[in-house]
Structure 1
Amino acid sequence: MSFEKENIPSGVGGNMADVKKSGYLKKLKTMRKKFFVLRGESSTGPARLEYYDNEKKFRTGSLTKRTIYLRSCFNINRKSDGKNKCALALYTRDDCFAMVADDEETLSEWLQALLEQQQAGLDGAPVPAFGKCLSSQLSTYGKLWWKPKGLGSSKNLSGNYRLCLTSTTINLVKMNCENEDWEFSVSQITSNVGMCCMCNTCI
């Protein structure tokens, strides 16, 4: 089941009842400004981030350019980018959507608001298999291709995975697949250093 959809109508006049934050940010991929709207969970749907070409299109009820449900994100965090110091990203199973703020204060405000709505949206709901990565402040993310040998063979780990590395665990989230997620403790990994030879990483 995908939590990410395209072209969802905002409602006539731009429904503001569940809007928690809005404003202009740049898409990292194109560096073009878009109008972003953060919605909290309500009768209109789960907590989500939408964006439009501009504020006018939002106010007049145009279709969103994209909507990302926060529950589908296994982490929302700052993104390391050599050219843009004020970047943040929403990591989903199959994608990494990144935005750039004009300054550190704006970045911090958006990051805090996104994390608050993500956690509120999970309150009382089933946590995704990769839930332990949620909002971790000591995490590294990337993608890797696991070779079908050694641990990869015994655990049937071959294929493309997203990697979430925290101070205590390594979580593997299989891309394009809902039910093949794995978690290893750091002690498990350090006791099998040969594991590093079984995967090609691309952080």
Structure 2
Amino acid sequence: MKVLIADDHDLLRDMLVQFLENEGSFQTVAVGTFDEAAARIEADAPYDLILLDYNMPGMNGLDGLKAAIAFGDGHRVALMSGEASKKIAEDALKAGAAGFIPKSLPAKSLINAIKFMAMGEQYAPIDFMTAIEKTPANPLADKLTERELQVLKGLTEGKSNKQIARDLEIQEPTVKLHMKTLYRKVGAANRTQAAMIAREAGLF
């Protein structure tokens, strides 16, 4: 089976290649950006499966997935992510993805999922898709909307406004508006202070 892996995290990408090639039945190609993946898809013979990281450079979330699917030529495209929500996974499947793989999957389950998708089936882990997403019970969280919490989480992870906008599929000016509001609500003067307040409150 021929698999293209596109992920900007070098360690994870190398581990995936090693896991698959140790199986003996996989031929892998690995790249770090969506543009590199698109070039390989265009130049190479059809892949049995293409794995795209939801947050890598050039991906633009589900837009990248849809673009890769539209390339055609028999390629099956799946999404993988360590941060995407159940809603994103559902939207990916509706858009025609071969499946959705959380990066938290154990290695053996990951290999089996890739085999399953490469053989023409659609895959998504039941426990992930049926999990109830809950907002943490926290006094600070009660002050914020769901979107403000998502922006604040991005701040605590050291992400730029552009990265947060990409992750949440919203415009950068919208991120700035949410930040201004959440600063006021949590009593912060800037992004660093807001992140510290969230950490100290045990919010993330």
Shorter chain as denominator, the TM-score bin is under 0.3
Please give the TM-score of this superposition, normalised by the length of structure 1: 0.27
Please give the TM-score of this superposition, normalised by the length of structure 2: 0.27
Hey, which of these two has a bigger chunk of helix by percent?
2
